[in-house]
Amino acid sequence: MNPFIKAAQLKTKLPGYQVARSHALNHQTLQHLAARHHEKFLKAFHYKQANVISDLQVSRGIAACKHDGIAGFFYWEQGQQPFVFHNTFGVEVGLPAAGELAAALEKAGHTSALLVGELSTVANRSHSYDVIRAIHSPQKVEDLRNLQFVIFDVILLDKKDIQPQDYAERVKVLQTLPATPLAFIPVFKEISNLKELNAFYKEQVVKGQEGIVYHEMTTQTAYKIKPLFNLDLAIVGYVEGTEEQTGQAVSIMGALVKDGIYQLVARVGVADPAAREPLFKELSRNRVESDYTETDSDSRPIIWVKPTRVVEINAEDVTWEDTRGGQWTNAALKLDGAKLLYQGQGEILKPFHPTMERLRDDKAVAACTFGQLPGTDLKLRKAATDSVSTQIVREVYTKTIKGKPAVKKIVAWENKNNGGPKFVIHTVDFSAGRAEALKEDTKVTNDRAEADEFIKTWKAEETGKGWIPA
């Protein structure tokens, strides 16, 4: 084992392949060099989203295709096993890409190297979650051979510190390195004006690539540039905050519209604190019931509303595939009077890191159609069923506390064929004499035993002495 790695931190995932999630690098100099590069270069990138680049100073620079994956550092010295590590000092030992690169470097006469790159998949369009899954949960050796290391920078080569040189000089060093099928440098292109930059950018995007990386040498500024994905959605639900954010809409759910059916697309946060309370007051007036339940990542329920407002969202990227490579789906709901009814799972895109751009008072809900996504339409995969949920328990308890009424309620149900969490438990705690009279909580799980245990514990802890079943 390489003495630069803490062997006790490693876990064997496949024969010859080991991984540690963090704190496995046992070499202070490498830690320092990687931390310095991460702080000075990787964190210094300016991120831009644009379909046409128009606001950059361009006079002398270098551009390359951007690969979506996980930034990493490759280290090898003669006589030792190569490895890839990250800014958290997590480590991968036994990656085929690292082995190929070390062998090629040695054959070319090199004795050591500390290189910076992106660990991505060999697919035309890589995604970071594919890389994470392959690193930490490979099922077979082919999963590891699906990972490539695209080299963008050099820190050390044959023990010589290359970092003091400017990026153009470092690229020249990179261009002398050997390449393998799984470890190589991208195509670098010298850029002298904005027209050339846009032409290169358009060429990469047309190829289906994620975007470009551009280093402007006159200002020593680096940019990661990606196309802007933009969509107008009808607001069909919101999540109310808790504690000091009670009475505020902290996030909203958006949907595309087709023939009265609302295809859920994405939930986005309401970043502007000043907008949360007015939006909550407006949306809560249009609250409707629904036979479909969904919560946010904090187990807070989405409160469904009659769609009257439009939100414009942006996203870094989109995919049409789920983590297994199948078609991504989301629930589709139909407004029937004062209730949204589940219609099944619709095939739709999944935005990466969606954010709220603005509320659109100039656009009607009916205009939020699939026409924004040319070549697509509402496509239900699963038809609605007569019963999409089965109630497990519904119990109400009452008590008089200091002369005032108090109520506790638990409702639990099992969802069927709606794509949401399988089991949902919602509790209500009301006490008229308390400063915060009403408290609600929602728990979700896909395990029936876990749901039953929570119900049992809640009843034991919350409905003791003096509480009477209603």
Q: How many CB atoms are closer than 10 A to CB 327?
A: 13
Burial 224-242 (b: 16+ CB within 10 A, else e): ebbbebebbbbbbbbbbbe
Q: Give the residue from 114, 113, 112, 88 showing the smallest Cα distance to 35.
A: 88
112-116, 194-198, 442-446: range with lowest mean pLDDT:
442-446
Write down the mean pLDDT value for the chain. 89
Nearest to 69 by CA among 227, 224, 217, 181: 224
Tokens of 39: 């702080």
Q: Where in the chain is the domain with CATH 2.40.50.140?
A: 234-372
Specify the 3-state DSSP secondary structure of 44: coil
List phi, psi (to 5°) of 257. -120, 135
Cβ of 139: how many Cβ atoms within 10 Å? 10
* Digit-coded pLDDT (tens) for 199-211: 999 999 888 787 8
Distance CA 343, CA 185 (A): 48
Give 225's DSSP letter. E
The reported pLDDT for the residue numbered 357 is 87
Length of the chain (residues)? 470
Q: Distances from the Cα of 192 to the Cαs of 49, 59, 413, in angstroms?
A: 21, 5, 63
Topology annotation, domain 7-226: D-amino Acid Aminotransferase; Chain A, domain 1 (3.30.470)
Query: pLDDT band for position 375 (50/70/90)?
Result: confident
Could you give the C-alpha distances from 443 to 44, 344, 428, 447, 461, in angstroms and in order? Answer: 40, 23, 12, 12, 16
Q: Does domain 234-372 have CATH number 2.40.50.140?
A: yes
Q: Using pLDDT thresholds of 50, 70 and 90, give the confidence band for residue 384.
A: very low
> In this structure, is the dihedral angle defined by the CA atoms of residues 342, 346, 351 and 357, taken in order, positive or negative?
negative
What are the start and end residues of each CATH 3.30.470.30 domain in the chain?
Answer: 7-226
For the segment 268-299, what is each residue's pLDDT rounded down to a tens digit? 999 999 999 999 999 999 999 998 888 887 77
DSSP classification of residue 244: G
Q: Which two tokens stand for residue 116?
A: 């910076």
Q: With contact defined as beta carbons under 8 Å apart, do 397 and 467 qualify?
A: yes
pLDDT at residue 418, rounded to an integer = 53
State residue 388's pLDDT score.
Answer: 61
Strands 212-216 and 11-14: unpaired
pLDDT for the residue numbered 183:
97
What are the percentages of helix, strand and coil residues in the chain, rounded to 5?
20, 40, 35
